[in-house]
Structure 1
Amino acid sequence: MKKFKWFSISPLALGTWGMGGGYWSTDYSNDENDIKAIIKAIELGITAIDTAEMYGNGHAEELVGKAIKNFKREELFIITKVWPNHAKYEDVLKSAIASSKRLGTYIDLYFLHWPSNVPICETIKAFEDLVDKGVIRYFGLSNFKWREIEKASECVKKYEIAAVENHYSLWDRGDEETLEYANKKGLLYLAYTPIEKGRIKNDKFLSEIAKKYNKTPIQIALNWYIRIPSLVPIVKSSNISHLEENVGALGWELSEEDWKKINEHFK
């Protein structure tokens, strides 16, 4: 488990984008397989599950709710997000309650999915009230840069911004300043698309290092990420063998020398 100021979560998180449909559109055709994949991920130790109200128009949350019902709730960490067009105070409350009902449980971590035109203090006030109501435990900001997070922090009255979820990978390190900010502040930094939809598996540099450890390039990349104190990569797959490959990134460590080599190569 990775420990943060407020909570501990698994060193990998399972993403659910594409499960249950797409951008505000629902698809029931792969439900059984998706539920099995979520269950398998939890059994493999990926107990942090990342979803959003937008994914499948809420259906991804329903799938997560079905998958987790036979697990001990306190051993899971459920993350979901409110879309920016629901960022007004009353809309945030409605969205969170609706997400909680679809999930069949409280929300551990609730994000504003993207910056919106609504004053951020209005959204933060809704988040704090949701904590008071027991609907959510913690809140954060997704697709925000560190300066925007710092500004939003001025809005909090009772709690603190606990996390950020942004795109970060070895191939795209443009968010390095926000990652460093998260490290300094003790925030969870959830990195989405860390293996660039599988394309990293063909990287020649990582392939050479992978041979040394008898691992795959994806396992090397994921192991590199989890060495960063604040960073938890989000992996997404409905394929059991891919989930097992992802978990193969845990339980061992790159040498300091190899970690630095990778860091410099992808600088």
Structure 2
Amino acid sequence: MKKFKYFTISDLALGTWKMGGGFWTPSYENDERDVNAIKKAIELGITTIDTAEMYGGGHAEELVGKAIKDFKRDDIFIITKVWPNHAKYEDVIKSAKASSSRLGTFIDLYLLHWPSSSVPICETMSAFEKLVEDGIVKFIGLSNFKPEGIQKANECLKKYEVTAIENHYSLLDRSDEDTLEYAKKNGIAYFSYTPLEKGRISEIKILNEIARKYNKTPIQVALNWYISIDVMIPIVKASNIKHLEENAGAMGWKLSKEDWEAIAKA
């Protein structure tokens, strides 16, 4: 488990992109499979669930809401995101309430999905603070922001602070190191999306070599490398039970310092 100033969460997060549909478009054909996958992930200890109003036009949130009914709410940490075209004050409030309704519960962590090119960040953050005060949202975060943007958002907040950032980071694309360092310095959670680069991570030679040493798969070694970074929580999306079990196998053990550094250098 990862402990931060305001919350403690699982080492891995389950992503729900393409569950319940695609970009603002719902699909219902795999609902049973996806709900079962979310349930299985929770059973395996992946109790942090990442979703967004854009995923399937909100249907992914509905699937998450359905899946968590069989579990104690305090054991689940739900992240969802508001799209930047809803970044105006009233639109943020409306979006968050709609997301909460689809989830059937409050939102643990609410993120602005991308920076808005037309709405001042202070207006958006003002709405986020209102949501926290009203109990609809517990914590505030951002997605696809760089350090200067995070700092600006924090300056806008009067009572609360940015507790998490969700950006793209992987062993094949470490261009966001500056934001990761900002997260480390400020003790905020860093959620890395697409950490497995759609499976391409498993082709890395050194991961295969080290995987044999630990009797693990290259995917498990890569995920453990991310987990070993104090503030990082990799987001992994899987609807296949075998893939979920493989991902969960990245938790509960630790690479040696030497092996971690060898991967980092490679």
Give the corresponding residue for 1:49: 49
Q: Gaps spanning 5+ residues in structure 1: where?
A: none
* Secondary structure of the corresponding residue to residue 173 of structure 2: coil
CA displacement at 1:194 relative to structure 2: 0.3
1:110-151 deviation digits (Å, cap 9, x = unpaired): 000000020000000000000000000001110000111111
Query: Aligned partners of 1:70 and 1:36: how far apart in 2?
Result: 11
CA displacement at 1:203 relative to structure 2: 1.7
Letter in 2 for 1:119: P
Give the corresponding residue for 1:124: 125
- 1:81-160 to 2 correspondence within 5 Å? 81-116=81-116, 117-160=118-161
Query: Aligned partners of 1:29 and 1:138: how far apart in 2?
Result: 33
Query: Aligned partners of 1:94 and 1:36: how far apart in 2?
Result: 29
- 1:125-204 to 2 correspondence within 5 Å? 125-204=126-205
* Secondary structure of the corresponding residue to residue 191 of structure 1: strand
Identity of paired residues, percent?
71
Pair 1:264 & 2:249 matched: no
1:63-121 deviation digits (Å, cap 9, x = unpaired): 00000011000010000000000000000000000000000000000000000020000
Letter in 2 for 1:19: M
Letter in 1 for 2:221: I
Give the corresponding residue for 2:212: 211
Query: Aligned partners of 1:151 and 1:186: how far apart in 2?
Result: 17
Query: Aligned partners of 2:164 and 2:251: how far apart in 1?
Result: 22
Query: Aligned partners of 1:3 and 1:151: how far apart in 2?
Result: 25
Letter in 2 for 1:133: D
1:209-252 deviation digits (Å, cap 9, x = unpaired): 11111111100000000111110000100000000000111111
Query: Aligned partners of 1:256 and 1:79: how far apart in 2?
Result: 31
Pair 1:66 & 2:66 matched: yes
Give the corresponding residue for 2:31: 31
CA displacement at 1:152 relative to structure 2: 1.3
Letter in 1 for 2:236: V
Query: Aligned partners of 1:250 and 1:165: how far apart in 2?
Result: 20
Give the corresponding residue for 1:9: 9
CA RMSD across the alignment: 0.5
Query: Aligned partners of 1:57 and 1:152: how far apart in 2?
Result: 26
Query: Aligned partners of 2:198 and 2:68: how far apart in 1?
Result: 25
Query: Aligned partners of 1:251 and 1:81: how far apart in 2?
Result: 29
Query: Aligned partners of 1:251 and 1:25: how far apart in 2?
Result: 37
* Secondary structure of the corresponding residue to residue 22 of structure 1: coil
Query: Aligned partners of 2:33 and 2:19: how far apart in 1?
Result: 9
* Secondary structure of the corresponding residue to residue 126 of structure 2: helix
Query: Aligned partners of 2:223 and 2:213: how far apart in 1?
Result: 16
Pair 1:246 & 2:214 matched: no
Q: Provide the aligned length of Structure 1 versus Structure 2.
A: 265
Query: Aligned partners of 1:45 and 1:236: how far apart in 2?
Result: 14
Runs of 4+ that moved beyond 2 A: none
Q: Gaps spanning 5+ residues in structure 2: where?
A: none
Query: Aligned partners of 2:245 and 2:148: how far apart in 1?
Result: 37
Query: Aligned partners of 2:136 and 2:253: how far apart in 1?
Result: 37
CA displacement at 1:189 relative to structure 2: 0.4
